[in-house]
Amino acid sequence: MDEKIKLKEKVQHGSPMFPINVYGNLFVPENNPVLPHWHDEFEIIYLEKGLASFAIDGQEYRLLPHQFLFVNCGSIHSGKAIDSPEAYAIVFNLNMLYSGESDICKSKYLQLIETRKLLVPHFVEDISLRDLIFNLIRIWKEKRCAYELFVKSNLFMIFYNLFAKGYIVSNSYDKEFNWRLEKIKSALDYISSNYAAPLKIEDLSRITNLSKYYFCRLFKEITHLTPIDYINKFRVEKAIELIKNTNLSISEIAFEVGFDNVSYFIKVFKEHVGVTPLQYKKRV
């Protein structure tokens, strides 16, 4: 099963009693990119093999095997394959580490990360952290008896190391940057909810209260995609889901995901996936 993270994400990661999931196969099928998205949960990305690049809040990072990234709560992030990557994403709600309202671990450390008053640096080279992350993924996949205790203890050890070694920093982003980030997050949410309808740049600039020119510049700065590129890629991902899970014709799928021209849909699909929708349908 492809466990690819979708776009703000509206999915439950794990269960209410254990709100964590470890996702593999981030770039399948066809080495598809992970589109810019955001969620309230904390995330750790680990590259097992191959090469991949990731963007977090507009900053780009190229990962080698056994390197990892931290994605703070609410950050916009994306990824793309470079050379046959095998990547994992550990996505979890920080409240799984809380033990109650009067919990000092919550009030002194974790809640400050959850509310972005403190930030974890995106990229850290640290063998202890690498081993903790690797072993968490290993135990998660094995699902041995009491694996939940191991997973939770490793998360505590990860944050202990981050604080004890001085990696955690105060949120030095100025109010202007945080304001811009929220504007793009609102645009992503709007696209996610309205991709099947006609979408114009004017619609996005209007809902963000930005000029068309400034909106396009800001969107590209943070997501590394133009708004049109993003909309097309998002619609193609939705089309892939329909190809896999329905018996709709290619033209029906094109209209279902927001394209008003079948020829243009086929052209865009091939640009992003490498094959036509019909060729892709024959493969699955």
Q: At 32, give phi and psi (nearest 5°).
A: -60, 145
Q: What pLDDT was estimated at residue 2?
A: 41
What lies within 8 Å, CB to CB, of 73 at 6+ separation is: 39, 40, 41, 42, 94, 113, 114, 115, 116
Q: What pLDDT was estimated at residue 242?
A: 97
Residue pair 77/55 in contact (Cβ under 8 Å)? The answer is: yes
Closest Cα partner for 206 from 181, 187, 231?
A: 187
276 CA to centre of own chain: 26
The predicted model scores a pTM of 0.90
Q: How far apart are CA 88 and CA 135, in angstroms?
A: 12
- The residue to which tokens 């089309």 are assigned: 239
Which amino acid, 75? S
Residue pair 22/137 in contact (Cβ under 8 Å)? The answer is: yes
* Other beta carbons within 10 Å of 245: 9
* 111: β partners: none
Q: Is the dihedral of CA 99, 135, 44, 229 positive or negative?
A: negative
pLDDT along the chain (284 residues), means of 10: 44 81 82 88 97 96 98 96 94 93 91 95 98 98 96 98 96 83 96 96 96 97 96 96 95 98 97 93 88
Closest Cα partner for 199 from 226, 225, 221, 232?
A: 232
Q: How far apart are CA 235 and CA 241, in angstroms?
A: 10
Determine the 3-state secondary structure of 281 from DSSP.
Answer: helix
* 87: β partners: 47
Burial of 6 (0-12, 13-18, 19+ CB in 10 A): middle
Domains of the chain: 20-170 (2.60.120.280), 175-283 (1.10.10.60)
Q: How far apart are CA 92 and CA 23, in angstroms?
A: 11
Q: How far apart are CA 224 and CA 202, in angstroms?
A: 20
Tokens of 19: 């709100």
Q: What pLDDT was estimated at residue 6?
A: 44
Q: What pLDDT was estimated at residue 13?
A: 74
Element (H, E) at 79: strand 77-92
Which ranges of 7-126 would DSSP assign to H, the alpha helix?
A: 104-105, 111-114
Q: What pLDDT was estimated at residue 3?
A: 39
* Other beta carbons within 10 Å of 77: 25
